[in-house]
């Protein structure tokens, strides 16, 4: 076994140990998955709020290009981000 193969083998062993520490309960992985899902949900809400604010900043020509009237853009722009 050459030096490169030994280093590669040691790195693979280290990755396996870091990826699955012994005795780690499964509820931790479920908690991490739930927190990630919650973060994605919050990110979606914030993205929706940002896009609604952008509607308020658009010119009449830009709104006409996407087929929205100024009144509709104003109504949508004033809605809450969670709505």
Q: What is the pLDDT of residues 30-65, one digit of tens each?
A: 899 999 999 999 999 999 999 999 999 999 999 999
Report the alpha-carbon distance of residue 26 to residue 64 in Å, rounded: 53
Q: pTM of the entire structure?
A: 0.57
pLDDT of residue 1: 46
pLDDT of residue 27: 85
| Average confidence (pLDDT) over 20-39 | 82
Report the alpha-carbon distance of residue 51 to residue 43 in Å, rounded: 12
| C-alpha distances in Å from residue 50, one per residue of 9, 29, 76 | 48, 31, 12
Report the alpha-carbon distance of residue 52 to residue 80 in Å, rounded: 9
Contact indicator for 81, 48 with CB cutoff of 8 Å = yes
């Amino acid at each position: 076994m050459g030096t490169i193969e030994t280093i590669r083998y040691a790195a693979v062993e280290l990755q396996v140990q870091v990826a699955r520490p012994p005795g780690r309960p499964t509820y931790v992985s479920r908690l991490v998955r739930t927190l990630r899902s919650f973060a994605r949900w919050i990110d979606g809400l914030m993205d929706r709020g940002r896009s609604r604010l952008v509607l308020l900043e658009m010119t009449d020509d830009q709104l006409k290009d996407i087929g929205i009237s100024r009144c509709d853009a104003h109504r949508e722009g004033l809605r809450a981000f969670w709505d």
